[in-house]
Amino acid sequence: MPAAEAAAVDATAAWQRCHAHLVPDAQHLRLPAASYHACDACGGRRGFELVAHVRFGPQTWLNETPLLHCPDCRRFTLTAARHAQCLERVPAIAGHPLTAVDARLWSASPTFLNIEPTTRCNFNCWYCVGRHMVQADIEVDNFAKMLDNFPSLKAIALVGEGEPLLHKGFFAMADMARARGIRVLMLSNGSAFSESVVRKLCESQIAYVSISIDSIDPKTFAESRIDGDLQRIWEGIERLRRYRDANGYQYPKIGLKGTLFRHTEDQMPAIVDEAKRRGVEVFESFQPLNPMVTYVRIYPKDQLRQLDDVPRVAQRIDEDSARARTLLTGVMDFCASEGIPGSNVGRPNGLRPGCDEEWIYSLLSGHVTPCCQVKDVLDPDWNLFEHPIEEILANEHYENTRFNLWNGLFPAYCGGCSKTRATA
């Protein structure tokens, strides 16, 4: 069949036979107008494309082929135009029926876990969702069960909505992971770096500790990181670097991250310069105030107008980050040099912004969520204390969630995320 004469192909039966549980979310956050197409079968105008591998005949696969899905008639169609493209790619499929579909294209071999050891914190940052969550610690026995259930784990980040060092079992968990050959990373507010803690961080060979600093000015710092003492944090960083180097330890490497606002958007260069002077080696990232719906709902009313400035602050952060990476080692370069699977970007779908995070995220309850910014339990069966990681990855609800996210069909709880803003 010449490509010019290609006809539309109904792929619905093949889709249902191969993976009926992968259901495009008809209630997804709205896509750009150009992403919607008319359905030749029913006349509906809400159709949108998805990406899948498609097979013609008994064995010829064409990878990453767009199929049109219509939420009105629920059909999956290889449109005439897309069929023509397939024929141009592989002329030998002419005259062969479409026999199979594979839409499981998201990353599904995780080796990195981001888990909350605690939601408790000695700071009271007004923009932190953790201050509005149940205040609790992960149980060390449950942490051990999680390690048993995640045998492919190569690196673990003990971070979340609290200060990890407040957990009395923190070093027991870190040592437990390291004994299994797992690299341990952590995020801290930097306030608890006493002599004994610094010694334990080095002895436990924590590979990396990232410290959050939001302002170069102590008074401004204390206004956002309520109860925070900037001078104490600088002194703690110096204490850690001094003890590590004086005693011949290689780790932990010391990183920097933070949150900037409209009144601090120009402060990153000064923060980076001072951090380097105090002993910081790695630049991780800075972010603007988080506009995701999970977070916005907890912000004080008098701070909501700051959300209008997020795009401008984000742009300034991008500009200043380039300079920061000339002064400090970029976190991705650090991870690459250490063999740590630090990237969590995943694969693009080729149609529109999607989400394919390669890491696994877990609340301190053991429940897996699609990303670190989703704080609600979406499915009780996605629990690493009770189920092996492979069982969770194969869970039909989990697969359907990842399928929609990878295709850029975002649910309401993703509203405000930078990935969803990119589709607007």
pLDDT in tens, 54-72: 999 999 999 999 999 999 9
Element (H, E) at 390: helix 389-393
Does the predicted TM-score (pTM) go above 0.85? Answer: yes
Rounded to whole angstroms, how far apart are CA atoms 424 and 419?
9
- Please enumerate in sequence order all residues whose Cβ is within 8 A of that of 253, keeping only pairs 6 or more positions apart, or say none: 207, 208, 209, 281, 282, 334
If you search the block for the tokens 């990373």, which residue do you land on?
185
Q: Strand pairing partners for 187?
A: 210
Region 163-187: what's the mean pLDDT? 97
Band (pLDDT 50/70/90 cuts) for residue 25 is: very high
pLDDT tens column, 261-276? 999 999 999 999 999 9
Count the Cβ atoms, other than its own, within 10 Å of residue 152: 12
Q: Using omega within 30 degrees of 0 as the cis cutoff, is the peptide bond preceding 252 cis?
A: yes
Give residue 424's pLDDT. 47
- Please enumerate in sequence order all residues whose Cβ is within 8 A of that of 322, keeping only pairs 6 or more positions apart, or say none: none
Rounded to whole angstroms, how far apart are CA atoms 389 and 187?
24
Give the chain's domains with CATH numbers: 3-102 (no CATH), 112-338 (3.20.20.70)
Rounded to whole angstroms, how far apart are CA atoms 250 and 245?
7
**In angstroms, what CA-CA distances link 53 with 56, 99, 256?**
10, 11, 41
Mean pLDDT of the chain: 95
Report residue 409 as tokens. Answer: 């069909």
Cα 212 vs. chain centroid, distance in angstroms? 18
